[in-house]
Amino acid sequence: MSQSRHTPRVAVLLLNLFAQGEEAASLLGDLSEESFEVAAKSGTAAARQWYWRQTLKTLAHLFACDFRNAPWSTSALLIGGFLLSRFVSSVPDRILSAMTDKYLFYWSNHFHAYMFLATDGMLISHLIAVTLVGSTIALAAKGKEMLAPTALALVLAGMAVIGSIVVTAKTADASFLWIAAVQSSNSFAMVAGAAIVRMRRRSAQAQPRPA
Amino acid sequence: MRDRDHLGEFEHIVMLALLRLEDRAYGVTVRREIELRTKREVSIGAVYATLDRLESKGYVKSHHGEPTPERGGRSKRFFRITAQGLAAVHRTHGALRSMASGLGLARSHS
């Protein structure tokens, strides 16, 4: 399917992720048809703006509808996902301290490698862990893979932003805002993990089954 | 109890749009019809969410048309009201008329 200049790719990707199979095709078709007409009347920039506005409103509706259709299972996944993310986020730190204790002599001779592991390595391992949490929640939510992980990601990012603003205001130390940035990237990784499961499942459903 | 169900405000508006559009009712035309007549901006997501809900209640049926190039090769999903849906529209209309009768609303807004 060809995408024209007035259909933003990211918006199409988001709608594809959040809308159900047949619904996604109808939605995207309708938006494509209308944006084509907006572009002819008001130009490509106006059409892209219109498309984004419709996409954001539509995503909010899809989100609310999915939650209304399955409030209990979504809430259970949210709570389960929250507990899992708390547990998983402590795993890289525990592994690092265990490795440090066991191979103390090696790390003392390779201090730069240790520093990399303790800084960038930890950030990367946290991102991977959170991506796995997002994928796990999505695997447990058949048909609504994006709902619970995205909701949890928004809750965690919101908590981190509020927390870091409060601490920054109390301590007058802007370096605490870094926590919000790290948690936001973790939240993005969680949604990405769910998106991977969603796309894998969709492509598996699209493949013809053997007779 | 389902036979006594009334439509919500937006459900009612969508059902009336389907009745107006007859066999031309799909996402784009329904959205435009509502915007044109109610003078309020409506997202395609709100229209589909409502149509899906109405379909699950048995008030609306849908079928797919042919794919077209301006839709990126995707087909239109046409909607039409069922007999059950028409009864729900009449019921809701009747309830609203009954509630409004004697209030002189038509005169005060004209």
ipTM: 0.83
A39, A68, A97 — which closes off a domain?
A68
Residue ranges of chain B whose CB lies within 8 Å of a chain A CB? 26-28, 31, 43-46, 48-49, 52-53, 67-68, 70-77
For residue B4, the model assigns a pLDDT of 64
Q: How far is CA B5 from the centre of its chain?
A: 15
A26 assigned to some structural domain = yes
For residue A131, the model assigns a pLDDT of 94
Does A149 score more than 70 pLDDT? yes
B65 assigned to some structural domain = yes
Q: What is the mean pLDDT of residues A199-211?
A: 75
Half-sphere exposure of A71 (CA within 13 A, CB side): 2
A77 and A139 share one domain: yes
Task: Count up the domains in chain B and report the number.
Answer: 1
Structure-block tokens of residue A21: 């199979």
A59 assigned to some structural domain = yes
For residue A1, the model assigns a pLDDT of 44
Does A208 score more than 80 pLDDT? no
> Could you give the CA distance from residue B56 to residue A177 in angstroms, rounded to a whole number?
47
A55 and A119 share one domain: no
Nearest CB partner across the interface for B74, out of A28, A59, A60: A28
A197 and A158 share one domain: yes
A2 assigned to some structural domain = no
CATH number of the domain within which B84 lies? 1.10.10.10
For residue A77, the model assigns a pLDDT of 92
**Chain B residues in contact with A27 (beta carbon < 8 A):** 27, 44-45, 48
Does A40 score more than 70 pLDDT? yes
Helices (H), B1-110: 9-21, 27-38, 44-57, 83-100, 105-109
A4 assigned to some structural domain = no
More confident residue, A131 or A143: A131
Q: What is the pTM of this model?
A: 0.79
For residue A2, the model assigns a pLDDT of 46
A36, A51, A68 — which closes off a domain?
A68
Which residue range(s) make up the domain with B54? 7-96
A118 and A33 share one domain: no
Answer for the pair B22, B47: CB distance below 8 angstroms, yes or no: no
A110 and A64 share one domain: no
Q: How far is CA B96 from the centre of its chain?
A: 16
Which residue range(s) make up the domain with A144? 71-206
For residue A192, the model assigns a pLDDT of 95
A144 and A199 share one domain: yes
Query: Which sign does the torsion angle of CA A76, A80, A83, A89 carry?
Result: negative
Mean pLDDT check: name the lowest of A1-10, A54-63, A74-83, A142-151. A1-10
To the nearest 10 degrees (0 to 180), the angle between helices B27-38 and B9-21 is: 110
B1 assigned to some structural domain = no
- Chain B closest-CA separation from residue A18 CA (Å): 11
Give residue B1's pLDDT band: very low, low, confident or very high (50, 70, 90).
very low
A100 and A137 share one domain: yes
From A150, A125, A153, select the one nearest A67 (Cα to Cα): A150
Task: Count up the domains in chain A and report the number.
Answer: 2
